């Protein structure tokens, strides 16, 4: 008997069959099966009516004439078509004449296209509201605020600092070195200068044993992010938890730290699980938009890394319609002589010598130095090979190649269909 395996891939899925006697387990977040207690908009409204450790947003908005709402960019599946209208309504209930700017937290990513903005916010908001994209390199719109706890320079977007009320929306998912997404990440890296992001994502912190999925306490990256959010006077957040269909199943609003932590606790109760080690781990990056490029797919690979035997093979299925996702990331591997050499160079760099995308390369290298990675994607095989992986046209072909690498036909298999949605403890 065989079990059919389906991995989210772009806006569809790829499949294969695995013999039952070889299948050790299928690990998936219970969030995907969670039955929401109310429709999406109702969940958002209820969270805003009962904020955590905070006055209601409409109360905070009274007398605040310049309001900035930070939101995520195209690389995050935040359901802004649902959340943003309610947030704006709530702010205007407190101050109908407030000048509101939606600030897109691009971090160090590219600027969103007009199509992506319209798709994210819907036609009304994209046409009627003031939407500004953060540019981490635009010195004229950046302000230095001294040092982070780590010693790196804290540089943030001028718009976020000059408003009367700073609000952020986002979603909470496991994050492979910040512990969880959402909350304070709207500020750092969301609207931070490039030098601040680089210092926060330094080799020392990425290597730290607390900089892992599902870990906040003792995480040096999280500590810097919390400091940045407080320094920016982030006053209120709306964070949601979503299922596999990107639908809201829970919402948390209020104090940026307290509401975020409550949301993280809710998600951990659904997504936390023990590892099921196997020779082969098949995983994905949750489909579109999280599997748009190879750079983002490293997140899913890191989950597979947490549930695999030494020397095992990772099979990653990610469409990667946007290619590799970062020139610096790609060039690090394309022109290198060995993974060991690149890793030594990264570890030797000081906090203020961090290079763009170095953190992603560091985690990717950590995986490649221990495991072969076979990638099923739409990008050219040569690109995958330049990045030190083995290309495959399908999951079936990837399974065959994995068996050849391991030298055995009866290799055990664990499947993690959505590698960015689970927390392996």
Q: What is the structure's pLDDT at 32?
A: 85
Q: What is the structure's pLDDT at 337?
A: 67
Q: What is the structure's pLDDT at 394?
A: 97
Q: What is the structure's pLDDT at 289?
A: 85
Assigned CATH topology for domain 2-27+276-424: 2-enoyl-CoA Hydratase; Chain A, domain 1 (3.90.226)
Catalytic residue among 74, 109, 134, 201: 109
User: For the chain (length 425 residues), average pLDDT per consecutive 10?
Assistant: 95 96 96 94 98 98 98 91 98 98 94 93 95 96 96 96 98 96 98 96 96 96 98 98 93 98 98 97 93 94 97 98 88 80 92 90 96 97 94 98 97 96 93
Give the whole-angstrom CA distance, residue 267 versus residue 31: 7
Six-digit token pair at 249? 């199943």
Q: What is the structure's pLDDT at 333?
A: 83
Q: What is the structure's pLDDT at 129?
A: 97
Catalytic residue among 74, 134, 175, 222: 175
Q: Of 255, 80, 93, 228, give the one whose Cα is nearest residue 157.
A: 228
Domains of the chain, residue spans? 2-27+276-424, 40-271
Q: Of 125, 115, 104, 88, give the one whose Cα is nearest residue 170.
A: 104
First to last CA, the chain: 30
CATH of 40-271, one of 3.40.50.2300, 3.40.50.11440, 3.90.226.10, 3.30.420.40: 3.40.50.11440
Residue 109 bears catalytic tag: yes
């Amino acid at each position: 008997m065989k079990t059919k395996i389906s991995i989210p891939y772009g806006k569809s899925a790829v499949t294969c069959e695995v013999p039952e006697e070889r299948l050790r387990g299928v690990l998936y977040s219970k969030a995907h099966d969670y039955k929401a207690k109310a429709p999406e908009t109702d969940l958002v409204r209820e969270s805003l009516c009962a904020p955590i450790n905070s006055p209601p947003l409409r109360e905070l908005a009274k007398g605040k004439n310049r309001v900035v709402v930070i939101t995520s960019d195209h690389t995050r599946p935040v359901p802004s078509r649902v959340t943003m209208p309610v947030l704006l309504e709530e702010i205007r209930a407190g101050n109908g004449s407030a000048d509101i700017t939606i600030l897109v937290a691009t971090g160090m990513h590219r600027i969103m296209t007009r199509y992506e903005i319209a798709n994210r916010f819907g036609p009304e908001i994209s046409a009627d509201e003031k939407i500004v994209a953060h540019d981490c390199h635009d010195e004229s719109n950046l302000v230095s605020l001294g040092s982070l706890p780590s010693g790196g320079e804290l540089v943030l977007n001028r718009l976020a600092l000059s408003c009367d009320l700073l609000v952020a929306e986002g979603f909470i998912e496991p994050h492979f070195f910040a512990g969880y997404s959402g909350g304070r990440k709207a500020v750092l890296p969301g609207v931070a200068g490039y030098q601040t992001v680089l210092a926060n994502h330094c080799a020392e912190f990425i290597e730290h044993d607390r900089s892992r999925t599902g870990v906040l306490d003792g995480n040096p990256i999280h500590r810097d992010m919390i400091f940045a959010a407080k320094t920016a006077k982030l006053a209120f957040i709306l964070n949601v938890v979503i299922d596999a269909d990107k639908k809201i199943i829970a919402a948390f609003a209020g104090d940026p730290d307290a509401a975020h932590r409550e949301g993280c606790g809710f998600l951990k109760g659904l997504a936390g699980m023990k590892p099921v080690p196997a020779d082969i781990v098949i995983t994905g990056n949750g489909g579109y938009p999280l599997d748009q490029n190879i750079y983002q797919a490293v997140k899913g690979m890191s989950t597979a890394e947490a549930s695999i035997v030494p020397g095992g093979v990772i099979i990653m299925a990610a469409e990667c319609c946007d290619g590799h996702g970062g020139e610096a990331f790609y060039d690090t591997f394309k022109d290198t002589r060995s993974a060991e050499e690149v890793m030594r160079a990264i570890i030797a760099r000081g906090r203020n010598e961090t290079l763009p995308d170095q953190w992603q390369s560091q985690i990717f290298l950590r995986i490649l130095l221990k495991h072969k990675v076979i990638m099923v994607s739409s990008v050219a095989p040569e690109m995958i090979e330049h990045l030190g992986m083995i290309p495959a046209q399908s999951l079936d072909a990837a399974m065959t190649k994995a068996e050849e690498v391991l030298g055995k036909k009866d290799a055990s298999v664990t499947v993690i269909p959505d590698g960015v949605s689970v927390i392996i403890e």
